[in-house]
Amino acid sequence: MKTAFITGASSGIGRATAVALAQVGFQLVVTGRRRERLEELARQLAPTPVHLLLFDVRDRAATDAAVAGLPSDFLQIDVLVNNAGGAHGLAPIQDGDPDDWDQMLDSNVKGLLNVSQAILPGMVQRKQGHIINIGSIAGSETYANGNVYCASKAAVAALSKGMRLDLLPHHIRVAEVNPGAVETEFSTVRFKGDNDRAGSVYKGYKPLRAEDVADVIQFMVTRPPHVNIAEVLLLPAAQAAATTMRKDL
């Protein structure tokens, strides 16, 4: 049985991806910081074998220890989905909160690097593996007040390309999925728990669901070994650009 390692699996795209990959026969390592949510996910996915890891991807030592401590049945990671991260705040650069900047750069960029570095030695040794990094349309289309978040996702795009080049000799596929508007806890986190403001982001049109993104990831990882769907831009039909929506509802 192949093993998928999914970061940020306690909610949203990560959780939906865990469900989607279990449906096609993967056993799972799911990571996050909310034990109760991961435990509930594991119960939902039974009898699929699921191993829970509780750590913060921003903490390199904790990441290394978590991966090194995997039980033998889960040590061989076939697919890594770097999903953990998020947006914090929406302010012009002169009014930005440096704590928000640290959160985004440390989770969206350094977290991806920490987890990848911990898992890549095994993939390189086996000359086999598949990495999918969750980016964003914001990585290619900077929008007003999105400054540092957009920069962090542009870094994910650059890292994905760099990883694909560096890992090519080792037969490791690297891909990037860039969603547009997805209705998850993303906006609730960005607006510090302001649910009314978060909900207004998705009013007037039908956004993507986390399951829509997970369906694409499921398709990507089930392609034959000679196929790599390297980049996907996934938008709701009502979205044409990062901040251009057609209001239908």
Global pTM value: 0.95
Distance CA 249, CA 115 (A): 40
Is there a catalytic annotation at residue 143?
A: no
Distance CA 20, CA 127 (A): 25
CA nearest neighbour of 116 among 150, 165, 187, 67: 67
Q: Give the per-residue pLDDT at 190.
A: 79
Tokens 């901040």, located at residue = 243
What are the structural domains of the chain?
3-245 (3.40.50.720)
Local confidence pLDDT in tens for the 249 residues of the chain:
999 999 999 999 999 999 999 999 999 999 999 999 999 999 999 999 999 999 999 999 999 999 999 999 999 999 999 999 999 999 999 999 999 999 999 999 999 999 999 999 999 999 999 999 999 999 999 999 999 999 999 999 999 999 999 999 999 999 999 999 999 877 777 777 777 887 788 999 999 999 999 999 999 999 999 999 999 999 999 999 999 999 987
**Rounded (10°) CA dihedral 81, 2, 173, 233:** -40
